[in-house]
Amino acid sequence: MTETNYLLRLLKDFPLVEEHRPWARRIVDFDAWMNIIEVLAVSDWDFLGLWAERQTQDNDRFQIHMSLRDAENTTVVVITLPLDGLSYPAVSGVRPGAARLERVVADLYGLVALGAEDMRPWLDHGRWLVNHPMAEAEAREVVPFGYDFLTADSEQALHQIPVGPVHAGIIEPGHFRFHANGETVVRLEERLGYVHKGVQALMEGKTVQEAAKLAGRLSGDSTVAHALAFVQAAEAAVGIEAPPRAVWLRAIMAEIERVANHLGDFGAVCNDAAFALMLSHAMTLKEKLQRMSHHVFGHRLMMDRIIPGGVAVDINKEAARHIMAAAREVRKGFQRLSDLYDDTPSLLDRTVGSGITMASLAHRFGTGGVVARAAGRAIDARKNPGYAPYGELDFDVPIEIDGDVHCRLMIRAAEIKESLALIERFTDGLPTGPLTRALPRHAGEGMALVEGFRGEIMTWLRLDADGLVARCFPRDPSWFQWPLLEACIEGNIVADFPLCNKSFNCSYSGVDL
Amino acid sequence: MILTSVLWQVLQTLIAVLAAPLVTGFVRLIKARLNGRIGPSPLQPYRDLARLLRKELVLAGNASWLFRIAPYFIFSFTWMAASLVPSFTTNLVLIPTADMITLVALLGAARFMIALAGLDIGTSFGGLGASREMLIASLAEPAMLMTVFTLALLAGTTAPARIIDYVLAGGVGLQVSMGLSLVALLLVAIAENGRIPIDNPATHLELTMVHEAMVLEYTGRHLALIEAASMVRLQLYISLIICIFLPWGISQSGKGLEGIVLGLFAYGGKLALLAAGLAVFETVIAKMRVFRYADFLGGALLLSLLATLVLYVSEAV
Domain chopping of chain A, boundaries: 3-114, 199-512
Angle at B288 between CA B287 and CA B289, to 5 degrees: 130
pLDDT the model gives residue B30: 95
Question: B230: pLDDT confidence band, cut at 50, 70 and 90?
Answer: very high
Closest CA to A208 of A477, A13, A470: A470
Identify whether the C-beta of residue B133 lies closer than 8 Å to the C-beta of residue B118.
yes
pLDDT the model gives residue B317: 61
Question: A3: pLDDT confidence band, cut at 50, 70 and 90?
Answer: low
- According to DSSP, the β-strands at A175-181 and A159-163 are antiparallel
The mean predicted confidence, pLDDT, of chain A is: 89
Distance between B142 CA and the closest CA of chain A, angstroms: 23
What single string gives the DSSP state of each residue in A321-367? Answer: HHHHHHHHHHHHHHHHHHHHHHT-HHHHHHHTTSS---HHHHHHTT-
- According to DSSP, the β-strands at A456-463 and A46-55 are unpaired
CATH topology of domain A199-512: Cytochrome-c3 Hydrogenase; chain B (1.10.645)
A207 interfacial to chain B (CB closer than 8 Å): no
CB–CB of A168 and B290 under 8 A?
no
- According to DSSP, the β-strands at A159-163 and A456-463 are unpaired
ipTM: 0.85
Give the distance from CA B57 to its chain's centroid: 27
Query: What are residue A355's phi and psi, to 5 degrees?
Result: 55, 60
Strand partners, A64: A52, A81
Q: Which amino acid is at A304?
A: D
Note which residues in 259-298 of chain B have CB less than 8 A from chain A: 283-292
Identify whether the C-beta of residue B39 lies closer than 8 Å to the C-beta of residue B32.
yes
Identify whether the C-beta of residue A65 lies closer than 8 Å to the C-beta of residue A17.
no
pLDDT the model gives residue B173: 60
What is the C-alpha end-to-end distance of chain A, expressed in Å? Answer: 37
- According to DSSP, the β-strands at A75-82 and A24-27 are parallel
Distance between A334 CA and the closest CA of chain B, angstroms: 16
CB–CB of B289 and A163 under 8 A?
no
pTM: 0.90
10 Å CB burial of residue A94 (0-12, 13-18, 19+) is: middle
CB–CB of A494 and B207 under 8 A?
yes
Closest CA to B95 of B172, B170, B164, B192: B164
In angstroms, the CA B148 to CA B160 distance is: 10
CB–CB of A163 and B207 under 8 A?
yes
DSSP character at residue A431: P
Q: Torsion angle, CA of A344/A347/A352/A358, rounded to 10 degrees?
A: -130
pLDDT the model gives residue A84: 87
pLDDT the model gives residue A478: 92
Taking contacts as CB-CB distances below 8 angstroms, the residues of chain B near A182 are: 131
Per-residue pLDDT averaged across A298-313, rounded? Answer: 92
Taking contacts as CB-CB distances below 8 angstroms, the residues of chain A near B131 are: 182
Is residue A200 scored above 80 in pLDDT? Answer: yes
pLDDT the model gives residue B1: 66
Q: Where are the beta strands (DSSP E) in B220-271?
A: none
Strand partners, B251: B89
Give the distance from CA A251 to its chain's centroid: 18
In angstroms, the CA A138 to CA A132 distance is: 7
The mean predicted confidence, pLDDT, of chain B is: 89
What is the C-alpha end-to-end distance of chain B, expressed in Å? Answer: 43
Question: B316: pLDDT confidence band, cut at 50, 70 and 90?
Answer: low
pLDDT the model gives residue A380: 87
Q: Which amino acid is at A286?
A: K
Per-residue pLDDT averaged across A241-248, rounded? Answer: 92
Q: Does domain A3-114 have CATH number 3.20.20.60?
A: no
Question: B314: pLDDT confidence band, cut at 50, 70 and 90?
Answer: confident
Is residue B312 scored above 90 in pLDDT? Answer: no
Taking contacts as CB-CB distances below 8 angstroms, the residues of chain B near A501 are: none
DSSP character at residue B94: T
In angstroms, the CA A372 to CA A96 distance is: 16
pLDDT the model gives residue A1: 46
In angstroms, the CA B267 to CA B68 distance is: 36
Is residue A109 scored above 60 in pLDDT? Answer: yes
In angstroms, the CA A388 to CA A247 distance is: 7
Higher pLDDT, residue A285 or A23: A285
Cβ neighbours, 10 Å, residue A341: 20
B51-101 pLDDT, tens digit per residue, is: 999 999 999 888 899 999 999 999 999 999 999 898 888 888 888 888 888
Distance between A428 CA and the closest CA of chain B, angstroms: 33
What single string gives the DSSP state of each residue in A201-224? Answer: HHHTT-BHHHHHHHHTTSSGGGHH
pLDDT the model gives residue B289: 85
10 Å CB burial of residue B300 (0-12, 13-18, 19+) is: buried
Q: Which amino acid is at A320?
A: A
Per-residue H/E/C for A47-110: EEEEEEEEECCCCCEEEEEEEEEECCCCEEEEEEEECCCCEEECCCCCCCCHHHHHHHHHHHHC
Q: Mark A3-29 as b/e (b = at least 16 C-beta within 10 Å).
A: ebeebeeebeebeeeeebbbbbbbbbe
| DSSP three-state, residue A466 | coil
Of A273, A284, A495, Cβ closest to residue B207: A495
Query: What are residue A130's phi and psi, to 5 degrees?
Result: -130, 160
A376-397 pLDDT, tens digit per residue, is: 888 888 888 888 888 878 888 8
Is residue A74 scored above 80 in pLDDT? Answer: no
Identify whether the C-beta of residue A509 lies closer than 8 Å to the C-beta of residue A479.
no
The structural domains of chain B, with segments of one domain joined by +, span 2-316
A116-151 pLDDT, tens digit per residue, is: 888 899 998 888 888 888 888 788 888 887 888 888
Identify whether the C-beta of residue B93 lies closer than 8 Å to the C-beta of residue B2.
yes
